[in-house]
Amino acid sequence: MTLLRLAAALAVVIAISLLWAGLGDSHRQKAEPSAAAYESLPTAPAPALRVGRPERLSSSRFSSRWTTVRRPTLARSRPSASASVVAELSTRAPEGTPNALSVIATRADAQGRVWVEVRLPVLPNGMRGWVPRHSLGAYQTLDTRLVVDRSALRATLYRDGKPIFAAPVGVGTSYWPTPAGRFIVRSELTRYASPFYGPVAFGTSARSAVLTDWPDGGFVGIHGTNEPELIPGRVSHGCVRMRNSDIVRLAELMPVGTPILIR
């Protein structure tokens, strides 16, 4: 009996083993065609677009922002509707172009209203004020900067911190000095009939502190000339004069909105 039981148990074990092995075979038999099917799938197409690494913002050391006045507004001494008014701003510069302003900083007040600190095109030169964001237009960013050196009688245009243009200039006499400070190029005039201003004249936010009764308020321009022999020199009423070939070249390189440092 014991032998019989042992034989029966062995038979059961063998049967189970065979069955297990058989199942394994059947699994393998089923898996093999699947694997082959996968291999026969077409390769995915390579994307037409190669997206590179995320692009971190470059240093803003040499960049500046400017905007235009979208609706008439008041500039205030602080970012608050109750702060004192320091200037009124219209939508147009005297030339008829949109009134361009350099953006210095922005701040949201306790109510979430955004205020923008700008350089003002008013006397005394160098005034700043806070303007409601909703009265301004789009921000534009530039990496150009013009430096006018009154001692060296030279203007240099920088792009991204590197000089890309330099030319001798005429500046104001001691009676009508060219004002020092930080300003903005706010318009570019061309195709007018006035040899005195040469072929191109840039409007700036700088104002003569002396010629206050000049038409349009005595704004200082950067322009060509019909007297190139006077350049370089202290010859103007405050404007920055250049030889015509230089002002034409500058116009190709310097966009409106470029900040100006006159020193």
Partner 1 sequence: MHEQRDFDRFLHAVDVDGAIAETSHQRQLVLSRRGLLAGALAGPGALLLGGSEARAASGLSANDVGILNYALVLEYLQASFYTEAERSGALSGKTAQAAQVVGATERAHVKAFQKLLGAKAVKRPLFDFQGVTEAQQAFLKTAVAFEDLAVAAYKGQAPKLQSNAVLAAAVGIHSVEARHAAWVRELFGVTPAVNAFDKPATKQSINHIVASTHFIVAHPKMKARSRPQYTG
Cβ 17 to partner 1 shortest distance, Å: 47
Taking the C-alpha atoms of residue 108 and residue 112, their distance in angstroms, rounded to an integer, is 5
* Number of separate helices (H) and strands (E) present in the chain: 2, 17
Give the helix ranges, DSSP H, for the chain: 2-39, 244-253
Minimum distance from residue 130 beta carbon to partner 1 (Å): 13
| 193 is a contact residue toward partner 1 (CB under 8 A) | yes
At which residue do the structure tokens 């006018």 appear? 148
Stretch that binds partner 1, among 117-125, 145-153, 154-162, 187-195 (CB under 8 A): 187-195
Q: Is 112 in the site for partner 1 (CB under 8 A)?
A: yes
DSSP letter assigned to residue 151:
T
149 or 188: CB nearest partner 1: 188
Q: d(Cα 247, Cα 146) in Å, to the nearest integer?
A: 13
User: Of 203 and 259, which CB lies nearer to partner 1 in the complex structure?
Assistant: 203
Nearest CB to partner 1, comparing residues 30 and 191: 191
- The interface region with partner 1, picked from 14-22, 77-85, 136-144, 152-160 by CB under 8 A, is 136-144
- From 190, 213, 229, 252, residue interacting with partner 1 (rule: CB under 8 A): 190
Q: How far apart are CA 219 and CA 122, in angstroms?
A: 9
- Candidates 6-14, 19-27, 117-125, 130-138: pick the segment binding partner 1 (CB under 8 A): 130-138
Burial of residue 261 (number of CB atoms within 10 Å: 0-12, 13-18, 19+): middle
Structure tokens at 77: 């001494």
Q: Which long-range contacts (CB under 8 A, 24 or more apart) does 152-160 make?
A: 153/232, 153/233, 153/234, 154/232, 155/222, 155/240, 155/242, 155/250, 157/250, 157/253, 157/254, 157/258, 158/62, 159/253, 160/62
**Binder among 118, 119, 219, 247 for partner 1 (CB under 8 A):** 219
What span, in angstroms and rounded, lies between the C-alpha atoms of 13 and 139? 84
Which residue, 4 or 44, is less far from partner 1 as judged by CB?
44
Exactly one of 197, 244, 254, 262 binds partner 1 (CB under 8 A); that residue is 197
Which residues would be at the binding site for partner 1 (CB under 8 A)? 44-57, 60, 63, 65, 68, 94-98, 100, 106-108, 112, 114, 133-134, 137-141, 172, 176, 186-194, 196-197, 201, 203, 208, 211, 214-216, 218-221, 223, 236-239, 256-257
